[in-house]
Structure 1
Amino acid sequence: MAVRTILHYPEPVLKKISKPVVHFDEALKQLAADMVETMYDAPGVGLAAPQVGVLQRVIVMDCSGKENPPDLIVAVNPVLVETEGESCEEEGCLSVPEYYAVVKRFSRVTMNYQDVDGNPRQRQAEDLLAVAMQHEIDHLQGILFVDHLSPLKRSIFRKKYQKLMQQRDEE
């Protein structure tokens, strides 16, 4: 396992659509293991393969929090098959460090996916895990959480984010 570099906005690969995984081999297992280590190291609750520069449909998540036992999900070729309700929660992203915004999402979802061996799986979620699933699947479509903001808020984001990154570079 290895901690990989997390790409930051406006890196072009973050806006590209990922390809479905067709080979369930050791390279996939290594990618998933590296992503898990990278996510925990960051620390974050989710990570998608494009965030580490790999355009494959792979996401990892663990929304259990520090007080609970780990609840790691490694999802290959994930698809939301049911959605319901509405949630407006503040989101952040490892690829958009130090910026948070309220995003409208579904409050409950059902996700079909495959594990790293290609076995079909299904997981239902609500609250934070449901938001994380939607957020990470968006990454596979080249969508960042800031893309869900209104045009005005996106414009404000770009200006604020540019300042944040300049301050970060100066430190």
Structure 2
Amino acid sequence: MECFRLKPAGFSVSTSQNPDSQPSAETSIGTLGLVEYPHPALFRKSKPLLRIDEGVRDAIEQMFDIMYESHGVGLAANQVALPYRMFVVNATGDPHSGEELAFLNPVLSRPRGTAIQEEGCLSLPGLRADVRRPQRVIVEAWSLDGQPIRIDLDGFLARVVQHEFDHLEGRLFTDRLPDAAGLEVKRDLELLEDIYHGKQSRGELPAEEKIVAELDRLEDQRCKS
């Protein structure tokens, strides 16, 4: 596995912390939306952020909104067509619980124990399956204000974080299924592919080349010095 540094060379945080400030034309990411399988962003390994600016903060806010609207407990940047190593979680699913967490440039370590639990994914509508994962794991990351985070996670929150981290690696929970279970979901994945490509043929979704070009542009904007 490629090893990403928690704080890559050239990492910077913009000084503006005004909650009412808006991203400039240069930093604006625009309106985000949930993407579904087999969107190219879901298979792309995310790159570490070098800049935390108002655009990134706005993206995180939108990601929480999309997560709650979709009744999810976690959402990775890949799932809104952003090529950045960041994700949001709230294991309660309740926006008023005070349990919101945003992780930028996360690194996982010290997996311990094993647990099997059913998982789903907002980008794989209708698919659910039992997935084996470590019961505990340590996550280190940066917060939106550029402060280091280190949490020893256990149970459901550990699972959610690992699920979202997989997204940053371009990996889906279906990739973790044993062969027999994988065959069971294959037909469902093929159906999602048919729906997706049908939308592309009708002009409801951009062509692959245009999607990849936009991912490259966004990556150049915040992941290269």
TM-score (norm 1): 0.89
From the superposition, tell whether residues 57 and 74 of structure 1 become closer, same or farther in structure 2 (CA, over 3 Å): same
Alignment of 1:60-99 (within 5 A): 60-66=88-94, 69-99=97-127
Alignment of 1:92-171 (within 5 A): 92-163=120-191
1 CA distance for matches of 2:136 and 2:191? Answer: 35
* TM superposition shift of 1:5: 1.8
Structure of higher CA gyration radius: 2
- Structure 2 gap ranges (5+): 1-21, 23-29, 199-225
Cα deviations by residue, 1:64-92 (Å, 9 ceiling, x for unpaired): 255x8230000001111221010100000
Q: Which amino acid aligns with 2:116?
A: C
The answer to whether the 8 A contact 1:87-1:105 is kept is: yes
Q: Secondary structure at the match of 1:98?
A: coil
| Aligned with 1:14 (options 42, 46, 49) | 42
Aligned-pair RMSD on alpha carbons? Answer: 2.3
Alignment of 1:43-62 (within 5 A): 43-62=71-90
Cα deviations by residue, 1:123-165 (Å, 9 ceiling, x for unpaired): 1211110000100000000000000012332232121344578
Q: 1:29 — aligned with what?
A: 57
1 CA distance for matches of 2:97 and 2:84? Answer: 28
Percent identity reads 34
- Structure 1 gap ranges (5+): none
The answer to whether the 8 A contact 1:3-1:35 is kept is: no
The answer to whether the 8 A contact 1:85-1:106 is kept is: yes
How many residue pairs get aligned? The number is 168
